Amino acid sequence: MSFLRKFVDSVKPNFSHGGKYEKFHHLFTAFETFLFVPETPTNGTGVHVRDAMDLKRTMTVVILALLPATLFGMWNAGFQHYKAFGMDSTLFENFLFGLQKTLPIIVVSYAVGLGVEFIYAYFKGHSISEGYLVTGLLIPLTLPVTVPLWMVALGAIFCTLLGKEVFGGTGMNFMNPALLARAFLFFAFPAYLSGDIWTDLSPEAGHQVIDAFSGATSLVTFDKSISQLPSLWTMISGIEQGSIGETSFIAIMIGAAILIFTGVGSWRIMLSAFIGALVTGYLLNLIAPASNPEHSMHLAPYLHWFMGSFAFGVVFMATDPVTAAQTTKGKWIYGFFIGFFIVILRVFNPAYPEAVMLTILLMNVFAPLIDHLVVEQHIKSRLKNA
């Protein structure tokens, strides 16, 4: 690969200070460091050797963890489509259909979001961080497969500008940018993000949508009557309708295992959110109205884990280290309240069945406060031991 290195070295002076394209310096650096880990040595006043881990690798790990959910989501988009038309389809056909529909969404999300980052880097003269590598994939996975591409673009712009860059870029934002984009789209264009939008119903020559087709997700069903919920296996495997990446509990848990194993995602947050939902679900069981056995308060607590985007949100969104609580104790509290509020909102506010996104954004806002309390307590305990 030395010819590649030679090429990079030959164009490099143009982008350095005083060069023809000096303004594009950070853009160039972003591409150069993508290809090559630079030889830049430590500065001689601190440590002389460094751990091999960097932010590019951190983000790569998250993308790897998202892959099972992404691939399953693609397959499921095709499966749901053919199922709605009552057609038989092979695994490959399902996947191909899903790929056709989801790839443009992913491409638009990356192209627009990274475009905004590049423009920002150009005008503001700061380096391009790796944060969007993950955000760019998270946005599509939280959207239904039927989402128009212009909305994806709008979401990506909103996310990068108002979710991140106004605060100073990756590491400075206080709310999860991808979720912010999702919430923005949800409230700005409710017609596109609620109702019968979960399955792609683009016409198939010679076929009609079958009569038994219903566009309701498990969350909608759950609010009406819990006995009508799909089977446990349906919810765990994720062969049901929903946003592209959220449906399969199994695929998400493979991702969770990768995140926990590499330490990139906090197991404390994940575990305590699961516990929070379980405990809350159980408490609701205790006070559920006996007169109405179909009421959502009667739901077996653990089922909350498998419904809607609970697992996806908890594993991939709540654990975003920038917007989550940062102290060890804080992570437990933060996670627990996420589980708690998701269940409370789901059960008591049927207008917004998709409580996960709103809850995590809410807890993002509270995370600094949680940390503050934990740090104050730490200071007090230090003074006591003085």
Partner 1 sequence: MGKQIKLKKGFDIKIPGAPQKQIGHLQPSKVFSIKPSDFRNFSYKLSVAEGDEVVAGQSIIFDKERPEIFIPSPVSGEVVEIVRAEKRRVTHVRILADKDTKFKSFDVPSSLSKESVKETLIGSGTWSYLRQRPFDSIPDTDSEPKSIFVSLFDSSPLAPDYNYLLKDDLADLKKGLEVLGVLSGGKLNIGVSLATEASLYQGVDATVNTFDGPHPAGNVGIQIHHVDPIRPGQVVWYVAPQDVVIIGRVFNSGKYQAQRKIALVGSEVQSPQYYTVVSGQSIESIVSGKTTDAPQRIIQGNVLHGEQTTKDNFLSYYTNQITVIKESVEPELFGWALPGFGKLSLNHSFPSWLMPKKVYNLDTRINGEERAFVVTGEYEKVLPMNIMPVFLLKSILAGDIERMENLGIHEVSEEDFALCEFVCTSKIDVQNIIKQGLDLLRKEG
Asked whether position 169 contacts partner 1 by CB under 8 A, the answer is yes
Q: Interface with partner 1 includes 52 (CB under 8 A)?
A: yes
Give yes or no for residue 89 binding partner 1 (CB under 8 A). Answer: no
Among 114, 180, 315, 322, contact with partner 1 (rule: CB under 8 A): 322
By CB under 8 A, is residue 44 in contact with partner 1?
yes
CB-nearer residue toward partner 1: 67 or 297: 67
Whether 244 and 145 have beta carbons less than 8 Å apart is answered as yes
Q: Which amino acid is at 308?
A: G
Report the nearest approach of partner 1 to the CB of residue 41 (Å).
4
Shortest spacing between CB 57 and partner 1, in angstroms: 5
Q: Please name the residue that has the structure tokens 């985007």.
A: 309
Q: In 10 A of CB 89, how many CB atoms? A: 16
Place of tokens 């989501």: 73
Is 266 a binding residue for partner 1 by CB under 8 A? The answer is yes
Considering only residues 16, 90, 127, 285, which one is a binding residue for partner 1 as defined by CB under 8 A? 127
**How many CB atoms lie under 10 A from the CB of residue 201?**
16
Q: Would you say 7 or 92 has its CB closer to partner 1?
A: 7
- The per-residue DSSP string of 167-195 comes to GTSTTT-SS-HHHHHHHHHHHH-HHHHSS
Q: Could you give the CA distance from residue 113 to residue 334 in angstroms, rounded to a whole number? A: 29
Both structure tokens of 329:
């104790």
Which stretch in 107-115, 194-202, 259-267, 338-346 sits in contact with partner 1 by CB under 8 A? 259-267
Does position 7 interact with partner 1 (CB under 8 A)? The reply is: no
Q: How many CA atoms lie within 13 A of 208 on its CB side?
A: 3
The answer to whether 171 contacts partner 1 (rule: CB under 8 A) is yes
- How far is Cα 33 from Cα 11, in angstroms, rounded to an integer? 14
Q: Please select the residue that binds partner 1; options are 36, 150, 302, 348, rule is CB under 8 A.
A: 36
Q: Least separation, in Å, of the C-beta of 43 and partner 1?
A: 7
Using CB under 8 A as the binding rule, whether residue 51 contacts partner 1 is answered as yes
Size of the site for partner 1 (CB under 8 A): 59
Dist. CA 167–CA 37, nearest whole Å: 28
CA 194 vs. chain centroid, Å, equals 19
Which residues contact partner 1 (rule: CB under 8 A)? 1, 4-5, 33, 35-58, 60-61, 127, 129-131, 168-172, 261-264, 266, 321-322, 324, 326-328, 331, 371, 375, 378-379, 382-383, 385-386
